[in-house]
Amino acid sequence: MMKVKENIIHNPEIECMDREELKKIQLERLKETVKLCYDNVPMYKQRMDENGVKPEDIKELKDIAKLPFTYKTDLRDEFPFGLFAADKKDIVRIQGSSGTTGKPIVSGYTENDVEIWTEIVARSLAAAGCDKEDIVQIAYGYGLFTGGLGAHQGATRRGAMTVPMSSGNTQRQIMMMKELGATMLCCTPSYAIYLGESIKELGYDIKDFKLKSGCFGAEPWTEEMREQLEGLMDINAYNIYGLTEMGGPGVAFECPEKCGMHINEDHFIAEIINPETGEPLPYGEEGELVFTTITKTGMPLLRYRTRDICTLYEDKCKCGRTHARMSRIFGRSDDMMIIRGVNVFPSQIEGVLLNVEGVSPHYMIVIDRVNSTDQMEVQVELTEEFYSDKVSEIEKIRETIKNQIKSDVGISAKIKLVPPKSIPRSEGKAKRIIDNRNIK
């Protein structure tokens, strides 16, 4: 497999800056942002007044802990414009969240916010080797969802030939990828795997494609999924993280060392907290990720509770970048499943499945409550090969998965092996949990 280590640093002056220097910049920008919020966003003024905090109380970076948190419900309650710090006439873009039902959330961008977003996605794509020679196929959805336009702006900034395919229309997607000779792909990891499988099924040979790398994100994925994807497509697969509330993708991205995602700390301050108590935790500990924007002027957010669970690292990275790194997302503190009292993240189940020969990465977790007891069923697809040739081994696979889930996750699950292609495919973020318990 081609495994060229590219390490293009888009903005070395900032990305490799001395950390002490970086922290000074963060403090200056934090002070400005807090003042901007206090003076222009009634919700922040009210919350800070209630907590007895004034913008002048922010004297050091650690004073950030004095500031109030912001929650997703705040964005819903203040929808559409309540949290904007800029005048509406200065907002040049609206994007919205993809996944929520009911009242949506939006983010508003000033011209400078769009510029910053473009810059940070350019940094992310550069780390995956993107430059003027590249043809970048964007298969994230375009529209209110930040994935498509975010990747588009970044690829364009890198000078690449940008192909705005959006998600879906898989056959056409593959035809264009081959005919144009796309060298990079940007989409969700689950869609990338689906594309890789479809390439095979349609009778193409991956050797006739020019893909070398891709930036995949917008949903949780695992190291095992990376291996699968890199094998399927013969590429280097990089993780990219972001959320609508922070402006979209590019908040953090992987470098060729693939040892966590560098956070664009000149634009965001990251904290890890205990999700139950809200207490800040030190680097290296697992907890909920909290972000404060420090350069946004459209809709700056203070201490936004992402609900994403991960770990932060500040140690030096071999790539030369000095910005701190965040681990993969292990799960969300809110869609963590609690099954018979055990906390279960879908990524744990996925980790088990991807290590079992004969099953595909397509699965669905169905939770029911029968006679007041939670039951978890894991439906997982067999690979084409196993389904047709090795049916006799099905019982063995089922046992392996069951035992492995029991030992890794700590609960017994019912395993249902289903024929290839029977689990619905998604072109955006995969839906992997059906919870029938009605206990929320």
Question: How many DSSP H helices and E strands does the chain contain?
Answer: 12, 21
By the rule CB under 5 A, 321 interacts with Zn ion: yes
> Of 54, 89, 63, whose CA–CA distance to 303 is shortest?
63
Between residues 319 and 329, which has the closer beta carbon with respect to ligand AMP?
A: 329
Residue 216 CB, nearest distance to ligand AMP (Å)?
7
Q: Which stretch binds ligand AMP (CB under 6 A): 58-66, 80-88, 96-104, 133-141?
A: 96-104
* The entry of ligand AMP, Zn ion, none that residue 146 binds, CB within 5 to 8 Å by partner kind: ligand AMP
| CA pair distance 383, 375, nearest whole angstrom | 25
| CA pair distance 97, 145, nearest whole angstrom | 6
Q: Which stretch binds ligand AMP (CB under 6 A): 1-9, 120-128, 129-137, 212-220?
A: 212-220
Let me know: does 196 contact 360? Beta carbons within 8 Å.
no
By the rule CB under 6 A, 329 interacts with ligand AMP: yes
By the rule CB under 6 A, 428 interacts with ligand AMP: no
**Residue given tokens 């510029």 in the structure block:** 115
Let me know: does 309 contact 244? Beta carbons within 8 Å.
no
For residue 249, the number of C-alpha atoms closer than 13 Å in the C-beta half-sphere is 35
Q: Which stretch binds Zn ion (CB under 5 A): 172-180, 277-285, 315-323, 385-393?
A: 315-323
8-state DSSP, 162: E
Between residues 12 and 99, which has the closer beta carbon with respect to Zn ion?
A: 12
Residue 431: CB atoms within 10 A of its CB come to 12
Between residues 213 and 244, which has the closer beta carbon with respect to ligand AMP?
A: 244
By the rule CB under 6 A, 217 interacts with ligand AMP: yes
Let me know: does 346 contact 328? Beta carbons within 8 Å.
no
Q: Which stretch binds ligand AMP (CB under 6 A): 20-28, 73-81, 200-208, 239-247?
A: 239-247
Between residues 75 and 423, which has the closer beta carbon with respect to ligand AMP?
A: 75
Burial of 49 (C-beta count, 10 Å sphere; 0-12/13-18/19+):
exposed
Burial of 347 (C-beta count, 10 Å sphere; 0-12/13-18/19+):
buried
* Six-digit token string for 342: 């055990």
* The entry of Zn ion, ligand AMP, none that residue 160 binds, CB within 5 to 8 Å by partner kind: none
- Give the one residue of 219, 230, 266, 350 binding ligand AMP; rule: CB under 6 A: 219
Write out the residues near Zn ion by the rule CB under 5 A: 255, 257, 317, 319, 321
What residue ranges bind ligand AMP (CB under 6 A)? 97-99, 146, 217-220, 239-244, 306, 308, 329, 332
